[in-house]
Structure 1
Amino acid sequence: MAMAHASQSAPSLPVLTDGPHRKRLGVVALVATFGGLLFGYDSGVINGALLPMSRDLGLTAITEGVVTSSLLFGAAVGAAVCGRLADAWGRRTTINILAVGFLIGTLLCVFSPDFGVMVVGRVVLGLAVGGASGVVPVFLAELAPYEIRGSLAGRNEVMVAVGALAAFVMNAVIGNVWGELPEVWRIMLAVCGLPALFLFFGMLRMPESPRWLVSKGRISEAEAVLGTIRPLERARAEVADIVRIAEEEKEAHATGWRAVIRNKWLVRILLVGIGIGVFQQLTGINTIVYYGQTVLTESGFSSSAALIANVVPGIIGVVGSIVSLRMMERVNRRTMFMSGYGLITVCHLLIGTASFLLPAGNPVRPYVILVLVVAFVGAMQTFLNVATWVILSEIFPLHMRGLGIGVSVFCLWVANAVLGLFFPSLVASLGLTGSFFTLAALNLIALVFIYTQLPETRGRTLESVEEDVTTGAIYVVRKR
């Protein structure tokens, strides 16, 4: 069975042509995705900073878990709050506020004298990370032409992967050059202050989302913005289409939670969004980001070798996300998701099996597990990570987009935080074998969910998707 397109899949808009507007759109995307870069760096830097930080601040196993997960719980709140904030104040303004949050959180962490201030700083960073994870993809999707929406919105996830790789590389370099310094972790954390400044000053010169402007009745401003990133005729046609849908929603009084609760199809798309977010985290990808050194040490590497080996999954993550961008406009979203969860389930089973068959002390064990971890990260980045954030930015109607992605990403970060908090205990009690077999079972459930619930959005305008989501037509199923 396959999800059918109940309305036009190729909207009758003027053809998108090349010109200066394409370059302008690329610049806007580059600046905005520095939010993704900060997301990746702040999430990944704890991987190498935690051990020296623990020694310097006298952290225990429990307080280490609190420091790591405090960012994640902060991110859950940031995702929920900033989605609504972006609906009220605008996407650009919200991203600028997040840039300030990144800078303040960084300074608190770098100059933290003790555990308490460190947790506060990590929570502030989490608020910014969670907000950026939801607002930046929406901003890009609302600016992008439907023909390249997947690859443009997906650039944020590429920058997340680049940020994580940058964290792994900086940790390895700083840790090996200045590793004898008791406060070397402060240098690792300080690096992300520069991209936070770039994001803030860069966004001051970027346009607001034209779809948000239309939702506020600022039609001429929306047309002016689109005129800088589209051919003029195309810009006018798109604005007319956006205005038409916005007026239909207004006539139906469809806004916020009330509209969602009253429409079973909107409730369903919200539950789909939540499922997409939660299952993405239950792949266990962020256990590699946060505890990659722990996993590799458990497999047999020394601590210093694990720190260097950790860079390899980071490199593969960037390569996979770039490949994914190339696939976004060529492969259906459903195909991407089903392929991804299928491959990841196989990788989890192989990691668990290798850990079982190759006992501790076997010289081959660490390298086999490293190869399998790299395969897992590659499959995740190529088929799921980019696709997850793209489809979350696409499936919600304009009047609930901030709300929908906010709730979905809130649940994503809660799942992330819970897994991040308990993964070390899971490994301690079940070992690598039991831990990865458990993840494999969860991903089989995710595969069934995707097959039965995920709608197809590739090659459609946000407005055509919105019409079919609101009426339930997007869930019409036909037999091949």
Structure 2
Amino acid sequence: MSKVTQGVFQNIRVYWLAFIVYWGIVLFGYDTGVGGGVVSATYFKEHFGLINADGSVNAQKSDAVSSNVVSVLQAGAFFGAIGSAPLSVRKGSTYVWDTAAIGRKYTLLMFSIIFSVGAILQTISGGSRGIGYIYGGRVVAGVGIGAISAVAPAFVSECCPKEVRGRITGFFQIMVAVGVMISYFINLGISLHIKTGPEVWRIPFGFQLVPAGIMTLGLLTVKESPRWLASKDRTEEALANLAYLRRLPRDDERVRTEMAEIEAAIHEEREARASLGLKEAFFGKGNFIRFVIAVVIFILQQWSGQNSVNYYAPQIFQSIGYTGTSNSLLASGIYGIVKVVATTLFVFFLADTWGRKLSLFVSAIGMGVLFFIIGALLKTFPPPADAATPPPASKAMAAMLYIYVCFYSLGWGPLPWVYVADIFPTRTRHYGLATASASQWLFNFVLSKVTPTMVTDLGYKLFLMFATINIGGMAVFTLLIPETKGRSLEEMDVIFGSVKAEKREADIRKQERAMDHEANETKSERSLEGKGASLSTPKFEAEEEPEIWQRSSSVEIVIKLLDAPETDTVDQI
């Protein structure tokens, strides 16, 4: 059995967790691609008054509705991403984290239900209810998607071992690509087989309930994040869940070492941020640069051109010569297939081999070069308006778009989510991902509003603009960020300067000693119980009684040992 196969079986429970959680990300991709195809359907335009009296399409109304159907989803998603972060509550003159946060698993359950309500509203639209139900449903569904897009990568990243974290977290982009591909082919099937009737939009919108239902039911089979549990002082549950996910006994050295590292990082965060509030969360030592990276990486991702193609693929392909709804939808469907295959190959075979920086750099350069080629071809060989079949230049541009999406899938597709999930400490990871996700959805919204106009007004210049951003912005940015491949989540504090490496190593050693002491004491107690002996605590004078015996839980002994001088040993205590 190969090492890769052994790794898959060893981490099968983590793969299952990612598979279930990322069905919510299928919704992300599906809703990204479905709107443009639905609005381009002739019957949709007729039913919602987008056709002039002479039978021609009212371009102004059509562009406005197309833009609105896509953009209101992003507006809802922006607020969903922000709202998914745990709330802070006021105590005296400071803000502290709300300890009643419900965790990653139940947050996802809650927002999957909210999303389903939005999907139902979209599905029942039409008739006397008008297009308002579509807009309202898209906003509600957007709130659900925005929250899921922030919580899901945090949940998966916190459960992954560092050796395969890039691969498993990278499932995010595979599921996005799967969702986009499904939306393209459902729209294609509708265009070929259903010409009239509300099913033109009800089937595509109603299908959203399928992945939402799979995720909701599947979440009942997975465990809560060990790192989140540890941050809430639920240490025993955290250790049990960590051992379950690693498929190892609780007393296995690898499990205990990883747990020691988690506990050490949490203890350091509490020491450094005893009165942690919003200011400290964003501007605390080593934190601000992480938030800057998280926001900038997603702004650049949005302006790479990919989401403009995703949202308006039929219109994009029409602009380069694939006239007719069926031709443009078929070209879009092939684009979706290429994206799924390329993303899957990268995530499984290169994500944890090339590293984050090299992948992002190669991806940006490749995308930029291909967009320059497409822009040059479109300028030199503008497509005829009414060609029955796409001319050779249009086929060449379509091929360039297919190669472009391969380069996108090589880096800037999956890795921003992986990278941002990597860099934040446990207690601020969700805030970091919520901020990053919100910035992503904000610029999604901006692009969804301006892309139809840019496609119409800029023509070939649109591709030249995206090319410049890819090479001049994204490639340069990649050179400035640190590598995170093969580093544990707890090591990120050292990389970004929140804690010195020497202090982290000392805290881990203390944590390991504390856990060994607990394990030895438990074995001793069990041995005495097995012999029928009654367990008694050593007698000490009140003034001499060691503090180590005055504990009510394993958490307190851990804190006492962590606070002890580094030269102390368990025996000396």
The TM-score normalised by the length of structure 1 is 0.91
Structure 1 pair 440–453 and aligned structure 2 pair: CA distance change class (3 A): same
The farther-off stretch of 100-109 and 47-56 is 47-56
Return the offset for 1:355.
Answer: 0.4
1:240 aligns with 2:260: yes
Return the offset for 1:392.
Answer: 1.0
Q: 1:123 aligns with which of 139, 152, 161?
A: 139
Give the distance between the partners of 1:227 and 1:349, measured in 2 at CA: 51
> Which residue of 1 is the match for residue 311 of structure 2?
290
Q: Amino acid of the residue matched to residue 263 of structure 1?
A: G
1:76 aligns with 2:58: no
Return the offset for 1:17.
Answer: 7.1
Return the offset for 1:409.
Answer: 1.4
Q: Amino acid of the residue matched to residue 148 of structure 1?
A: V
Structure 1 pair 242–297 and aligned structure 2 pair: CA distance change class (3 A): same
Give the distance between the partners of 1:467 and 1:413, measured in 2 at CA: 30
The farther-off stretch of 131-140 and 53-62 is 53-62
Kept in 2: contact 1:288–1:295 (CA 8 A) = yes
Return the offset for 1:182.
Answer: 4.9
> Which residue of 1 is the match for residue 486 of structure 2?
459
> Which residue of 2 is the match for residue 226 of structure 1?
242
> Which residue of 2 is the match for residue 176 of structure 1?
192
Give the distance between the partners of 1:19 and 1:216, measured in 2 at CA: 30
Return the offset for 1:51.
Answer: 2.0
Return the offset for 1:188.
Answer: 1.3
Kept in 1: contact 2:300–2:474 (CA 8 A) = no
Stretches of structure 1 that go unaligned for 5 or more consecutive residues are: 1-15, 475-480
> Which residue of 2 is the match for residue 192 of structure 1?
208
Q: 1:305 aligns with which of 318, 327, 339?
A: 327
Secondary structure of the residue aligned to 2:221 is: coil
Q: 1:323 aligns with which of 345, 356, 360?
A: 345
Higher Rg: 2
Q: Amino acid of the residue matched to residue 84 of structure 1?
A: P
Return the offset for 1:104.
Answer: 0.9
Structure 1 pair 372–17 and aligned structure 2 pair: CA distance change class (3 A): closer
1:413 aligns with 2:449: no
Kept in 1: contact 2:361–2:479 (CA 8 A) = no
1:379 aligns with 2:407: yes
Q: Amino acid of the residue matched to residue 161 of structure 1?
A: A
Give the distance between the partners of 1:54 and 1:473, measured in 2 at CA: 61
Secondary structure of the residue aligned to 1:384 is: coil
The TM-score normalised by the length of structure 2 is 0.76
> Which residue of 2 is the match for residue 91 of structure 1?
104
Return the offset for 1:264.
Answer: 5.3
> Which residue of 1 is the match for residue 67 of structure 2?
65
> Which residue of 1 is the match for residue 555 of structure 2?
none
Deviations 1:272-321 (A, max 9, x none): 11111110010011111110100111111122211111111101110111
Secondary structure of the residue aligned to 2:286 is: helix
Kept in 2: contact 1:334–1:450 (CA 8 A) = no
Give the distance between the partners of 1:262 and 1:387, measured in 2 at CA: 25
Kept in 2: contact 1:47–1:168 (CA 8 A) = no
Give the distance between the partners of 1:351 and 1:55, measured in 2 at CA: 34
Give the distance between the partners of 2:265 and 2:224, measured in 1 at CA: 19
Secondary structure of the residue aligned to 2:496 is: helix
Q: 1:160 aligns with which of 168, 172, 176?
A: 176
Q: 1:344 aligns with which of 367, 382, 391?
A: 367
Q: Amino acid of the residue matched to residue 40 of structure 2?
A: L
Give the distance between the partners of 1:214 and 1:227, measured in 2 at CA: 13
1:104 aligns with 2:117: yes
Give the distance between the partners of 1:409 and 1:335, measured in 2 at CA: 23
Bigger share in helix: 1
1:38 aligns with 2:58: no
Kept in 2: contact 1:397–1:470 (CA 8 A) = no
Give the distance between the partners of 1:334 and 1:176, measured in 2 at CA: 43
Q: 2:293 aligns with which of 259, 272, 284?
A: 272
> Which residue of 2 is the match for residue 12 of structure 1?
none
Secondary structure of the residue aligned to 1:310 is: helix
> Which residue of 1 is the match for residue 217 of structure 2?
201
Kept in 2: contact 1:398–1:466 (CA 8 A) = no
Structure 1 pair 437–32 and aligned structure 2 pair: CA distance change class (3 A): same
Kept in 1: contact 2:33–2:184 (CA 8 A) = yes
